[in-house]
Amino acid sequence: MSAEAPRLYCLPDADLNYAESLQRRFSMLRVAELPETGFCLLLDGNGLSLRWCDEAKLGAIKVDFLAGKAAHRRHYGGAEAVSKAVGVKKGQRPSVIDATAGLGRDAFVLANLGCQVTMFERSPWVAALLEDGLNRAKADPDIGEWVTQRMKLIHANSISDIQQHHLQAEVVYLDPMYPHRKKSAQVKKEMRIFQHLVGADSDADELLQQALNIASKRVVVKRPSTATPLAGKAAANQLSTKTHRFDIYSII
Ligand SMILES: C[S@@+](CC[C@H](N)C(=O)[O-])C[C@H]1O[C@@H](n2cnc3c(N)ncnc32)[C@H](O)[C@@H]1O
């Protein structure tokens, strides 16, 4: 994971009070010019986005729950594999700790279906982007109410810090980064940027034990189809899609 303080570049229409709050809470370094290399967060009147300056052609990453894929998943995502793996079914909406929140897409699908989701994200870059997207979603007249009620973000390391939050949930969901072997050009934009920014989450095995200590019903781990199980611990149940598999560890 990048140990550098996130750099923040503000465009002329940026809200400077918001910029100060981001700097303070995520230990960001405000820069006067857009750097030529490395990562940089850009703040403008529409919110926060991430740019990889070395690879500007990849464009920016922004968390937007109101448009694009997220909106599509909101309307049509009821039967997605992640919801089945977590145990969403008629009359059952398990509470979930998403211990590797990333850009919050899986959490959003689950919250949309009615699950209470507490998200942990340790990278300040990613946590700031996710918080920004959540804030805009919370202000939206259509989805703001349930996003506010059901999606909570904690910027912390779920391996070392989760216990001190004294949280309980029926399900702990894990989707750690995985070192992809495909040629980088084939890996889609967001994954390429994440691989450089966040790295391979090489401590993910520790997450499994932590998750098993906390979940009251099951731990669900999303893995690429060909990956070995976390910590070499095979799950009793699996659910497979074309590209992924969900390893399901039942507690009871
Ligand atoms: C593959 S992404 C998760 C994607 C996410 N499921 C989604 O739908 O957007 C993995 C994320 O987990 C975060 N992460 C990994 N280990 C973590 C830990 N111990 N505590 C908190 N966040 C962690 C990484 O920083 C990264 O942002």
| Window from 34-38, 186-190, 213-217, 241-245 with minimum mean pLDDT | 186-190
pLDDT for position 163: 85
Question: Do 20 and 96 have their domain in common?
Answer: no
Separation of CA 48 and ligand 1 centre (Å):
19
pLDDT category, 228, cuts 50, 70, 90?
Answer: very high
Could you tell me what percent of the chain has a pLDDT over 90?
A: 75
Whether residue 24 is predicted with pLDDT greater than 60 in this model: the reply is yes
**Domain boundary pick from 16, 46, 61:** 61
Q: Residue 176 has what pLDDT?
A: 96
Both 141 and 239 in a single domain? yes
The total of structural domains in the chain comes to 2
> Domain check: are 110 and 190 in the same one?
yes
159, 96: one domain: yes
**Strand 7-10 to 29-31 pairing:** parallel
Q: Which domain holds residue 133?
A: 68-250
pLDDT tens for 57-116 read 888 999 999 987 777 677 765 568 999 999 999 999 999 999 999 999 999 999 999 999
Question: 166 with 109, same domain?
Answer: yes
Among the candidates 41, 61, 81, a domain finishes at: 61
- What pLDDT does residue 237 have? 97
The atom of ligand 1 lying closest to the CA of 100 is: 12
Same domain? For 173 and 202 the reply is: yes
One-letter amino acid for residue 60 of the chain: A
Question: What CATH number is given to the structural domain containing 46?
Answer: 3.40.1630.10
Q: Among 22-36, 54-68, 110-124, where is mean pLDDT lowest?
A: 54-68
From 192, 198, 201, 207, mutation site for ligand 1 pocket: most ligand atoms within 8 A of C-beta:
201
Spatial distance between the Cα atoms of 153 and 131, rounded to a whole number of angstroms = 7
Quick one: which atom of ligand 1 is closest to the CA of 159?
19
pLDDT over threshold 60, residue 164:
yes
Residue owning the nearest CA to atom 17 of ligand 1: 100
Same domain, 37 and 137: no
Half-sphere exposure of 94 (CA within 13 A, CB side): 24
Give the Cα separation of 191 and 182 in Å (integer). 11
Same domain for 228 and 107: yes
